[in-house]
């Protein structure tokens, strides 16, 4: 039986949840415990040694009574170290001064909200992008701290993103994605090379993504990624000839569309990561976003049994502004 997750003893702060630091037990391969050779005397000393660069800031948080234990009591400098217990606190929000994000609602019912995620916006809080993520923006915009993303889109990808309103309903919708019963269609802009036309071309390979590495890669072995690609229309603009492609991923590997389009010799227009990472790969260009849009999503609603189709309002020439 899955262990029930501990409810945070601190509330959300502008849609951002508290940080949890768990105290490892004896013998755990924890760098702090290994360096000390024994368990620390207090919870505060453990956290300060685990995050030395933030030690002074954390000491101030403890002194102000803003750090809590699992049961909600205030953690002090004398609170003992208890293996398996946790301390909770709010980290500073890196993009606290960023302009608010307004999400365009495509569909809403009692259980879910589908939004058009703008290019350049993370799906979930990550690194320096905390408030500037679709989940946190949704929690603020819809006044609902339980909102979560049911799947993810790359930060550079725009289009349909499905959000769940209540935690007790997440399982039913997650099951749709786990069983691959959700049909997704993307629009992508790339060059023309004659390898893909109006008839779908299927790409099958094994894609792996190693944590810490920028790019996913195709490796020998059993196929785990399948994508169908076809050319919808070709067009010419000031920068040359391009094709608008319909892309249907039948599996959901990290960066799958970007990897498979690159393998066809069709890297996406505006992609700074494939085929070769640019020096500013992590800087979004609002005037030249990566031209990949999650165009539509179709599924049988697990609560109503009805078929639902959701279409993005973004087009390959539109760059929905992140700030609204």
The sign of the CA dihedral 117, 119, 121, 124 is: positive
Q: How far is CA 310 from CA 12, 56, 123, in A?
A: 30, 49, 18
Residue among 30, 53, 154, 228 flagged as catalytic: 154
How far is CA 184 from its chain centroid? 17
Q: Is 109 a catalytic residue?
A: no
Q: Locate 113 and state its tokens.
A: 């909200």
51 half-sphere exposure, CB direction, 13 A CA radius: 14
Cβ–Cβ under 8 Å, residues 115 and 324: no
Other beta carbons less than 10 A from residue 292's beta carbon: 28
Least Cα distance to 295 among 114, 149, 155 occurs for: 114
101 half-sphere exposure, CB direction, 13 A CA radius: 30
Cβ–Cβ under 8 Å, residues 83 and 39: yes
Other beta carbons less than 10 A from residue 89's beta carbon: 18
Q: Locate 123 and state its tokens.
A: 């799906």
Catalytic residue annotation: 154
């Amino acid at each position: 039986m899955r262990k029930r997750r501990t409810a945070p003893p601190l509330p959300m702060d502008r849609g951002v949840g508290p940080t949890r630091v768990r105290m490892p037990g004896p013998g755990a391969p924890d760098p702090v415990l290994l360096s000390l050779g024994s368990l620390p005397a207090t919870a505060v000393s453990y956290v300060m040694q685990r995050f030395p660069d933030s030690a002074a800031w954390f000491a101030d948080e403890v002194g102000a009574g803003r750090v809590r234990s699992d049961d909600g009591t205030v953690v002090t400098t004398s609170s003992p170290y208890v293996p398996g217990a946790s301390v909770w606190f709010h980290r500073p929000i890196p993009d606290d001064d960023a302009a608010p994000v307004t999400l365009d609602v495509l569909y809403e019912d009692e259980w879910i909200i589908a939004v058009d995620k703008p290019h350049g916006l993370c799906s979930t809080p990550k690194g320096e992008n905390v408030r500037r993520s679709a989940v946190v923006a949704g929690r603020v915009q819809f006044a609902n701290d339980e909102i979560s993303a049911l799947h993810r889109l790359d930060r550079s990808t725009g289009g349909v993103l499905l959000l769940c309103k209540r935690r007790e309903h997440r399982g039913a919708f997650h099951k749709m994605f786990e069983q691959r019963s959700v049909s997704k269609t993307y629009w992508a802009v790339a060059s023309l090379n004659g390898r893909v036309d109006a008839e779908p071309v299927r790409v099958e390979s094994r894609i792996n993504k190693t944590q810490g590495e920028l790019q996913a890669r195709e490796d020998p072995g059993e196929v785990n990624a399948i994508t169908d690609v076809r050319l919808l229309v070709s067009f010419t603009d000031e920068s040359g000839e391009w094709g608008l492609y319909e892309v249907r991923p039948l599996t959901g590997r990290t960066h799958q569309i970007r990897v498979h389009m690159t393998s066809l010799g069709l890297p996406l227009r505006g992609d700074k990561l494939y085929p070769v990472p640019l020096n500013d790969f992590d800087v979004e260009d609002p005037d030249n976003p990566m031209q990949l849009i999650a165009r539509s999503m179709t599924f049988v609603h697990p609560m109503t049994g009805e078929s639902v189709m959701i279409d993005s309002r973004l087009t390959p020439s539109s760059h929905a502004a992140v700030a609204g």
